[in-house]
Amino acid sequence: MSRYNVVITRRAERDAAALDPVARARIKKVLLELSEEPTRRSKRLTNSDLVQCRLRVEDWRIVFDVDGDDVVILRIGHRREIYRRA
């Protein structure tokens, strides 16, 4: 099983910093899982030119691209807002 590098953009870092500590801990755990297999729990987005995949963590979404051996985390946000800004 290959291991992926998880790259978090500055915008995603700011998004994560704005979360409450419980949500931040859950998302951190899921980001570690992404380094093992990014497509296991994720879904591909169909109507987006900028983002390939999304991952659901309760009411939060992580949108990311897979670029070779890198998983690039683009945004982290609430489900009602994330697709407007992604």
Q: What is the pLDDT of residues 43-86, one digit of tens each?
A: 887 776 666 888 999 999 999 998 889 999 999 999 888 877 54
Render pLDDT for 1-57 as a digit per residue (tens, 0 to 9): 568 999 999 999 999 999 999 999 999 999 888 888 888 888 887 776 666 888 999
Query: What pLDDT, on a 0 to 100 scale, did the predictor assign at position 57?
Result: 92
pTM for the full model?
0.85
The three-point CA angle 17-21-23 to 5° equals 90
Domains and CATH numbers, the chain: 5-85 (3.30.2310.20)
Q: Are 63 and 21 in contact, with CB atoms under 8 Å apart?
A: no
Q: Are 36 and 1 in contact, with CB atoms under 8 Å apart?
A: yes
DSSP element (H, E) containing 11:
helix 10-17
What is the C-alpha separation between 22 and 42, in angstroms, rounded? 21
